[in-house]
Structure 1
């Protein structure tokens, strides 16, 4: 995503020698995002994306890479990690872990409509179901433990009122995580970052076709409902305010529910999970904004966006999950 580590044509050609992907045609840095170094990599045999991992190490990466390979093998449209000549999927460049994955068709939709939400939600449910037999485990690295660690680091940059808000929400989420309803939630490997810019669409605006889900490098084992809440807080809102657009939210939740019905425990947990998803991204954006790393093309996001969303979700959760509660 942001270019932290420059990669030359000679570097890419040397790396390609470890694969059977043809010769280098072109290499172009991708400027969006803040976590990894990404390049579009075109070869004589196809179009790919080269990633150098700036934070994740060689011990953490197999979860992400093998999860993508697992989902792709189950027909879920995600980038397929390419095998090296030695049979592995993880290489190294400039001392950092690297991977090459297929480049998916389509582009991201900045203003999704109900049809986009329905298509993306069905794909999200399909990914959840397909990952049930995935054997590797790794916690969501931006979950509760990370919030506890990171909030004290960003507190000096907040007003007294903001500091009280973030600490109060953390306490509420700690209590929620210890509850019976939380324990009853189905969980497994999930994307954890399913924003609209991590989904590609082909087709037309009126009849979108799923191109695929990208950027799995925040994935982890968490509740399926958390993954849905992350998506709802980005796809189904008025961007300027964070307020839900009921038509978009119903489209997402109804499409997901049709593919994988929500449970009663999930219906009860939904308001707190929306708050958890808002807190996660407020904290991470505060961290990236106030404690950034240097990068050639770094574009930190506005932390205030998810502060507004958290305040709204604390005031009102919005529409309930679909389905009828059991008697």
Structure 2
């Protein structure tokens, strides 16, 4: 969510006046976190009422691709899942154009992110993620996860020139392993549906309610796609339930998230058998993307690429462990 395309308050007000009934923009502030789109906190005034939104200008996604993400958010919001709700414009369109880019406004969730989550935070996320998966079952649109294995296969050759020999061997051997896994009958049998695919700690908010943190909501759905639900959970586990210095699983947070997820949706036998490979797939996906962002960057205001070695460590850690026991008794990993 860096700022690639600048927008002024006057430009936003002209756009709002023409397309929306949300009043006049009084404040526009660029959001520095993230690396894909240009995002701004937008405050409007209308009849003495102040409202807060998030304005997004899309830098990679086309206008034709965007209805999947935005209508998924609209669908989940209507199902009671705590996600930002897109505003449709006066022509009932869910996406418009601003400064030459596709643009939309969504409601702003309340709360704050916790970059050092507790067991309770992980439990809340596990519960809500399972509910989100089930709520998406009757979503009518379908779009593959654009950062899945086909993207890995095309991107790995681009980053290999920037790797040392050990990294080269690791990334190529894991890619071959994942290609074989994705082609297996067991993988094909895994339950799937709309998935967030990027549910990191900074994409979740928590509200303090009566002295206790409650889920404020999930946001930033612009890597979402129809994928295996197990992959979505593995991405989440690999960010929320680890020791940041080593990439190794934190057992208390891991067990809390897994148990609360399975209290809503139990794993099928094929999911239990595929769990270790899916944790590795989730690690590879973000190692590849961080290598790409770091070594082949785009210019943007406030853009700071993430350290690729973080997910290299996570992938190495997942490859070293033989079993993570993804069931309700998941209390330990076996080396």
**TM-score using structure 2 length:** 0.95
Alignment gaps of 5+ in structure 1: none
SS across alignment from 2:136: helix
Aligned length: 324
Q: Name the residue aligned to 2:242.
A: 237
Question: Is structure 2 residue 203 aligned with structure 1 residue 202?
Answer: no
Match among 55, 69, 75 for residue 70 of structure 1: 75
Structure 1 position 238, deviation (Å): 0.6
SS across alignment from 1:97: strand
Whole-Å separation in 1 of the counterparts to 2:267 and 2:292: 33
Structure 1 position 317, deviation (Å): 5.1
Contact kept in structure 1, 2:28 and 2:41, CA below 8 Å? yes
**1:204-258: CA deviation from partner (whole Å, max 9, x where unpaired):** 6972111000100000010000000000000000111111110000000000000
Contact kept in structure 1, 2:276 and 2:324, CA below 8 Å? no
Whole-Å separation in 2 of the counterparts to 1:318 and 1:296: 43
More divergent stretch after superposition (304-313 vs 10-19): 10-19
Structure 1 position 319, deviation (Å): 2.8
Structure 1 position 170, deviation (Å): 0.4
Structure 1 position 67, deviation (Å): 0.3
**1:7-40: CA deviation from partner (whole Å, max 9, x where unpaired):** 0011110121111111111100001110000000
Q: Name the residue aligned to 2:4.
A: 4
Alignment gaps of 5+ in structure 2: 330-335
Contact kept in structure 1, 2:258 and 2:328, CA below 8 Å? no
Question: Is structure 2 residue 177 aligned with structure 1 residue 176?
Answer: no
Q: Name the residue aligned to 1:28.
A: 29
Q: Name the residue aligned to 2:40.
A: 39
**1:128-171: CA deviation from partner (whole Å, max 9, x where unpaired):** 00000011111101000000000000000001111111010000
**TM-score using structure 1 length:** 0.97
Whole-Å separation in 2 of the counterparts to 1:318 and 1:63: 35
Structure 1 position 181, deviation (Å): 1.4
Match among 144, 158, 168 for residue 149 of structure 2: 144
SS across alignment from 2:137: helix
Contact kept in structure 2, 1:244 and 1:318, CA below 8 Å? no
Structure 1 position 318, deviation (Å): 5.2
SS across alignment from 1:132: coil
Q: CA RMSD in A?
A: 1.2
CA 1:48–1:318 in 2, change beyond 3 Å: closer, same or farther?
A: farther
Whole-Å separation in 2 of the counterparts to 1:2 and 1:78: 21
Q: Name the residue aligned to 2:333.
A: none
CA 1:158–1:92 in 2, change beyond 3 Å: closer, same or farther?
A: same
Q: Name the residue aligned to 1:92.
A: 97
Question: Is structure 2 residue 133 aligned with structure 1 residue 128?
Answer: yes
